[in-house]
A and B are shown apart, each in its own frame.
Chain A
Amino acid sequence: MSSSLPHALTAHWKKFLVLGVVALAVVWSFAFIGVQNHENRQALSVLVGSLFWISILIGMLLLTMITRVFDAGWAPLVRRNWELLIVALPVVLLIGVVPLAFLTDFRHALWDWTDASHVLPSGHTVGHDPILQAKSWFLNEKFFLVRIALYVAVFGVLVTLLRRWSFAQDTDRTAGHTHRLHAVSAVGIPISAVALTMFAFDCLMALSYHWFSTMYGVWFFALSIRLALAVTVILTYKLSNGGWLDGLLNQAHRHVLGCLMLAFTVFWAYISFSQYFLIYTANIPEETFWYNIREIDAATGLKSEWWSVSMYLIFGFFFLPFLSLLFYRTKIVAGRLLTVAWIILIGGLVDLWFNALPRQVYDKSTPEGFVVTPFLTSSLLLDLAAIIGFGGIVIALFLRGAAKHETIPVHDPRILESINYHE
């Protein structure tokens, strides 16, 4: 019994591919036109859309490696879906972040520090900014592009190795693959930790390069795992209702995923609050401005719409999932867990918006010398289109992989333990 027939669901991969390609064509066209007109909001849509999926996939890559290292007995059944999905990580990097970084117009539009003629709120240009000059050993274009290429290479190699040996086990039934994957994961976790931290610095924190937070990488890690778990819950729900997990996924699997969602909800709040708390307490202008532009309208001194977004993060992205997940029933009843997963997925997008969108735009008519880009614009729809576009590609690759490989790791030494997992 080598290879079973591909599941009927996998036949839909072409539809998702078409959807992804069409949506991405639209979003990239808008981004090209925008950049020609010296606007960067459309390019930000490409960035937000790709980062949304990259964070999900980085989270899944880490969960794959962590469950390997800890020999998690519950994991093999769920992990195969992560292995089928993470092939999209290097792909989304290559069609999202890489062109944004390597095409000069896009790079200059998104990352102000790369454009020497960009005017800062002080009225000076980036080229004459002493803060940038002090950071130029790290923030220079050559090194930036090398780093972006390194992220693709590091994640690409890890994804390839983790998938190759896991799939090889399906046919040659060798337990040695499990030991090999254990070793790859043990080495891969610290490497990925450094890579994702630097990735978060380069792609998100450097969007406003005067600001710095040493916790930013940990925040991105927490967000990635939360989003990855939310997608896992949604996906396994779908796959256990007419997919290849039909009758296999039980209450104990949901319980363990629910517990992880609760743990990382708390961890995300801990990191996000600590970052705010330290900056609030120290009260240094170089740091506080980042939160000020997300709270106060510089022109009027009143709370801006970004303040509402931050309140949504506190109550909608922390308290709501946290308080719901405290209850045992939320973690085991499929419908309730699914609802919380959607809340976390939406909150994660809002968190990305909160981190990526607000920018100080030079405007000498205002007392502070700048205005902050607004939140509620029609461009949010373009962000959603970008998410659908990259998502279409991710799901197409996932279904294509599911047609080619076993959807259950039939010869994983722990597969029986995983299928019979109980609380």
Chain B
Amino acid sequence: MNERNERIHGVACTFRKVSDVFHAAEKVRDAGWKNWDVHTPFPIHGMDQAMGLPRSPVPRLTLLGGVTGFITGCLLTWYMNSYDYPLIVGGKPYWSVIFPFPVIYECTILFAAFGTFFGQFIFNRLPRHNHPLFDLPNFARVSDDTFMIVLEARDPQFHLDESRNFLQSLGGQEITVIRD
């Protein structure tokens, strides 16, 4: 990598047809690329597999949030009803898993939702106010009638000229270098 390359975000190239971008994505995947993305105006079924994307890691944070919420709910009800201010209500024990279950369960749901919501923020690297791609003059068209594949410079395979040629060989139409 030379100095010039470090200021480059990547190479973008546009496609006009779903089938073209789909098969191009499969070839990029098979070439072993890690840091790259496909931009389309609408979801394309099977694109995840064509890109070789693993499943989202967000559910793990959901589970973590749920377990945290369950424990929080247990501790909360135990502390208030049995430890800090023990009170007999309706002849029931100070604390059992039964009477505060709605509270425990709601805490589980709430924290699982937190895990999901903030988890997707983390994995989507949000909030983020700008992106080098937004400077591309034709980027707005990927929300209209154009498909785009972007190979990023941080991928170890990236080399400006080779990557440009690679995209050309995939049948890309307009090839643009994106600068940071």
Interface residues of chain A, those whose CB is within 8 Å of chain B, are 273, 276-277, 280-281, 283, 326, 328, 422
Give the CA-CA distance A206 to B79 in the complex, in Å: 42
Known: A328-B55, A422-B45. A280 touches B98 (CB 8 A): yes
Residues of A within 8 A of B102 (CB): 277
Give the CA-CA distance A276 to B92 in the complex, in Å: 14
Within the complex, what minimum Cβ distance (angstroms) separates A2 from chain B? 33
- Contact assessment for B101 and A422 in the assembled complex, using a CB-CB cutoff below 8 Å: no
Residues of A within 8 A of B127 (CB): none
- Contact assessment for A326 and B101 in the assembled complex, using a CB-CB cutoff below 8 Å: no
Contact of A326 among B45, B46, B63 (CB under 8 A): B63
Residues of B within 8 A of A276 (CB): 98
Known: A328-B59, A422-B45. A280 touches B99 (CB 8 A): yes
Within the complex, what minimum Cβ distance (angstroms) separates B45 from chain A? 6
Give the CA-CA distance A283 to B59 in the complex, in Å: 40
Supply 5 A–B pairs (Cβ within 8 Å), ascending by A: A277-B98, A277-B102, A280-B99, A283-B91, A422-B46
Give me 11 other A-B pairs in contact (C-beta within 8 A), A277-B98, A281-B92, A326-B63 excluded: A273-B101, A276-B98, A277-B99, A277-B101, A277-B102, A280-B92, A280-B98, A280-B99, A281-B99, A283-B90, A422-B46
Closest chain A residue to B63, Cβ basis: A326
Interface size class of chain B, counting residues whose CB lies under 8 Å from the partner chain: 10 to 19
Q: Per DSSP, are chain B's interface residues mostly helix, strand or loop, or mixed?
A: loop
Q: List B residues 60-100 near A (Cβ within 8 Å).
A: 63, 90-92, 98-99
Residues of A within 8 A of B99 (CB): 277, 280-281
Give the CA-CA distance A281 to B98 in the complex, in Å: 9
Q: List B residues 27-73 near A (Cβ within 8 Å).
A: 45-46, 55, 59, 63
Give the CA-CA distance A422 to B43 in the complex, in Å: 13
Closest chain B residue to A283, Cβ basis: B90
Give the CA-CA distance A280 to B91 in the complex, in Å: 11
Residues of B within 8 A of A328 (CB): 55, 59
Within the complex, what minimum Cβ distance (angstroms) separates B153 from chain A? 33
Give the CA-CA distance A16 to B59 in the complex, in Å: 44
Give the CA-CA distance A347 to B102 in the complex, in Å: 24
Closest chain B residue to A276, Cβ basis: B98
Give the CA-CA distance A280 to B92 in the complex, in Å: 9
Closest chain A residue to B48, Cβ basis: A423
Contact of B90 among A273, A277, A281 (CB under 8 A): A281
Residues of A within 8 A of B101 (CB): 273, 277
Residues of B within 8 A of A281 (CB): 90, 92, 99
Residues of B within 8 A of A283 (CB): 90-91
Within the complex, what minimum Cβ distance (angstroms) separates B70 from chain A? 12
Residues of A within 8 A of B98 (CB): 276-277, 280
Give the CA-CA distance A283 to B46 in the complex, in Å: 55
- Counting from the closest, the 5 A-B pairs by CB-CB distance are A280-B98, A422-B45, A283-B90, A328-B55, A277-B98
Closest chain B residue to A420, Cβ basis: B45
Give the CA-CA distance A422 to B49 in the complex, in Å: 12
Give the CA-CA distance A208 to B46 in the complex, in Å: 55
Within the complex, what minimum Cβ distance (angstroms) separates B27 from chain A? 22
Q: List B residues 141-164 near A (Cβ within 8 Å).
A: none
Within the complex, what minimum Cβ distance (angstroms) separates B64 from chain A? 12
Give the CA-CA distance A273 to B98 in the complex, in Å: 9
Give the CA-CA distance A273 to B59 in the complex, in Å: 26
Give the CA-CA distance A328 to B62 in the complex, in Å: 13
Give the CA-CA distance A117 to B92 in the complex, in Å: 38
Closest chain A residue to B56, Cβ basis: A328
Give the CA-CA distance A397 to B15 in the complex, in Å: 55
Give the CA-CA distance A326 to B102 in the complex, in Å: 20
Closest chain A residue to B46, Cβ basis: A422
Within the complex, what minimum Cβ distance (angstroms) separates A105 from chain B? 41
Within the complex, what minimum Cβ distance (angstroms) separates A319 from chain B? 12
Within the complex, what minimum Cβ distance (angstroms) separates A232 from chain B? 25
Give the CA-CA distance A64 to B45 in the complex, in Å: 27
Within the complex, what minimum Cβ distance (angstroms) separates B10 from chain A? 29
Give the CA-CA distance A328 to B45 in the complex, in Å: 19
Give the CA-CA distance A406 to B46 in the complex, in Å: 31
Give the CA-CA distance A277 to B104 in the complex, in Å: 14
Give the CA-CA distance A422 to B44 in the complex, in Å: 12
Give the CA-CA distance A269 to B165 in the complex, in Å: 59
Within the complex, what minimum Cβ distance (angstroms) separates A290 from chain B? 16
Within the complex, what minimum Cβ distance (angstroms) separates A50 from chain B? 33
Closest chain A residue to B91, Cβ basis: A283
Closest chain B residue to A280, Cβ basis: B98
Give the CA-CA distance A277 to B92 in the complex, in Å: 12
Closest chain B residue to A326, Cβ basis: B63
Within the complex, what minimum Cβ distance (angstroms) separates A333 from chain B? 14
Give the CA-CA distance A277 to B90 in the complex, in Å: 13
Within the complex, what minimum Cβ distance (angstroms) separates A327 from chain B? 9
Within the complex, what minimum Cβ distance (angstroms) separates B136 from chain A? 32
